[in-house]
Amino acid sequence: MHQLDQQKKRIQRLRNQKNQISPSIVDQAVDKVIKSAEVTMQNIILLQQEVNQLRASNQRQKRKKEITRRFIQTGGSLTGMEGQQLNEEHDQQEQAQAQASSSRPPRRDPRCSNCNKTGHNRLKCPSI
């Protein structure tokens, strides 16, 4: 803003001194002002695009937060035990669906290479 104000004052001084100054100097000063205005406009366009992108990103994050919420019960009161029970039932349903959609068989329990028993590996073998 300071530089623009300085250029404006310079142009006004040059116009007041019409007889002493050549028109090319005034034209150069006007060209500088025009160029600075163009640069400023381009910066405004870039900033507007960035603001639009940030707003869109913010909207996507808000929608994502709303989607991931899971309500256990609508209306009425719910005790802690009932909430836990409903949550466990929901988790069991999700696990059943995941197992039904899974095409590979479940993994076997780890087997110890030292004692050949299942349930632990050689690093946690109780016989060592």
Q: What is the mean pLDDT of residues 73-89?
A: 78
pLDDT confidence of residue 70: 63
* Residue 45 binned pLDDT confidence (cut-offs 50, 70, 90): very high
Q: List, in sequence order, the alpha helices (H) in the chain.
A: 2-16, 23-68, 80-101
Measured CA to CA, the distance from residue 57 to residue 52 in angstroms comes to: 9
Average pLDDT of the chain? 81
- pLDDT interval class at 18 (50, 70, 90): low
User: What is the structure's pLDDT at 56?
Assistant: 96
**pLDDT of 92 strictly over 80:** yes
The Cα 15–Cα 19 span in angstroms is 9
Which single residue is written with the structure tokens 């163009």?
38
Global pTM reads 0.42
Residue 21, classified by CB atoms within 10 Å of its CB into exposed (0-12), middle (13-18) or buried (19+), is: middle
Tell me, what's the pLDDT at 55?
Answer: 96
Rounded Cα distance between 31 and 86, Å, is 73
Return the number of other C-beta atoms located less than 10 Å from residue 115's C-beta.
Answer: 12
Q: Is the pLDDT of residue 93 over 90?
A: no
Give the whole-angstrom CA distance, residue 99 versus residue 95: 6
